[in-house]
Amino acid sequence: MDAFALRAANRLVGNGDGAAALELGGGPVAFELAQTGLLAVAGSGVRVTLDGRAVPNWMAFLARRGQVVEIAQGAGGCWAYIAIAGGIEVPLVLGSRATYLPGAFGGLAGRCLQVGDALPVGPTTIDLLQWAGASIPAEARPPYAQHPTLPVIFGPQANHFTPEARATFCAAVYQVSHTANRIGYRLTGQALAHARSADILSEGVALGAVQVPADGQPLVMLADRPTTGGYAKIATLASVALPLLVQCEPGQGQVRFQPIALAAAQRQYRQQLAALWPQFVED
């Protein structure tokens, strides 16, 4: 859900961007290391302890065999990512290690983790001691907040909405509803009026697409969304907006949308990822 935090956690432990990690949506979770490893936890509002002692997040830390890591998702965020040097080596399904819960396949047996599960870790070539303490400074992270402004790009069916609806979309505040989940975040607020039918011929749905069914309430399509859909889409969130939205707590987060140019959106995204490199502690 928060692709930036996942990438950050992986980079902190020397993994490639495609390495499998754990996503925590809620919690707490506790696990014991079967062998020494280098871990990092990234996300918003997350608290980590190692054998009961607090560990900063957005930082690589060494955990020795037998030590217990506990992670809890506190206020101010919803999703945390736990990466380990070497990556989680569950089998590839359709070329991916990710879990697709709606279809119950991928990841570890297509389901959420349960007490007693053992996770295989792949080999790593980095020097664990040298990397321990590497961190991502706050200024390199997204400006997580519970009332963020989300950059969006109008389309693909912006002209299916009235001019008043397009103006409302940029001015109104929308609340993240309690039904927000991996499929999409439903928002509640001022209804957006269609200039014609809310239905379109089914077509592909981009990540971050803002669908608006007949009830006029926006629905932002996310990680587990259906690949195609038949509702008109007024706009698409810029890639940099996605971490800000998904870390808004259901029932509490409030967002507003701000149109930006496509070129600016791509530039911001590249700049954000260009700055995402671990800072090593001076010896």
Among residues 71 and 260, whose Cβ is nearest to another protein?
260
* Between 262 and 275, CB nearer to another protein: 262
CB 38, CB 13: distance < 8 Å = yes
Distance in Å from the first CA to the final CA of the chain: 35
Candidates 149, 197, 202, 271: give the one binding another protein (CB under 8 A).
202
Q: In whole angstroms, how close is the CB of 110 to another protein at the nearest point? A: 9
Cα dist. 262→143, 145, 161, 238, 266 in Å? 20, 23, 20, 8, 6
Binding test (CB under 8 A) with another protein, winner from 228, 258, 271, 279? 228
Our finding on whether 227 is near another protein (CB under 8 A) is yes
Separation between Cα atoms, residue 188 and residue 175, nearest integer Å? 5
User: Binding of another protein at residue 204 (CB under 8 A)?
Assistant: yes
> Quick check: 267 and 273 in contact, CB under 8 A?
no
- Residue among 215, 219, 176 nearest 194 (CA): 215
243 near another protein, judged by CB under 8 A? no
Minimum CB separation of residue 229 from another protein in Å reads 8
- Using CB under 8 A as the binding rule, whether residue 162 contacts another protein is answered as no
Q: Give the DSSP letter of residue 144.
A: -
Structure tokens at 147: 């009332």
Residue 265 engages another protein in binding (rule: CB under 8 A): yes
Other Cβ atoms closer than 10 A to 268: 16
Cβ neighbours around 279 below 10 Å, total: 13
Q: Pull the structure tokens for residue 68.
A: 């217990």
Q: Which residue in the set 54, 114, 201, 283 belongs to the binding site for another protein (CB under 8 A)? A: 201
Picking from 86, 64, 72, the residue whose alpha carbon sits closest to that of residue 43 is 72
Within residues 104-143, the interface with another protein by CB under 8 A covers 104-106
- The answer to whether 93 contacts another protein (rule: CB under 8 A) is yes
Nearer to another protein, 147 or 267 (CB): 267
Min. distance of Cβ 70 from another protein in angstroms?
A: 33
Choose one: 57-65, 128-136, 140-148, 206-214; the region binding another protein (CB under 8 A).
206-214
Nearest to 196 by CA among 154, 232, 155, 156: 232
* CA–CA gap between residue 259 and residue 192 (Å, rounded): 16
Q: Which of 26, 56, 226, 251 binds another protein (CB under 8 A)?
A: 226
Q: Is 237 exposed, middle or buried (0-12, 13-18, 19+ CB in 10 A)?
A: buried
Q: Which stretch binds another protein (CB under 8 A): 81-89, 127-135, 160-168, 259-267?
A: 259-267
Stretch that binds another protein, among 24-32, 51-59, 117-125, 258-266 (CB under 8 A): 258-266
* Single residue of 28, 56, 103, 137 touching another protein by CB under 8 A: 103
The footprint of another protein (CB under 8 A) covers 93-94, 100, 102-106, 153, 155-156, 201-209, 226-229, 236-239, 262-263, 265-266, 269-270, 273
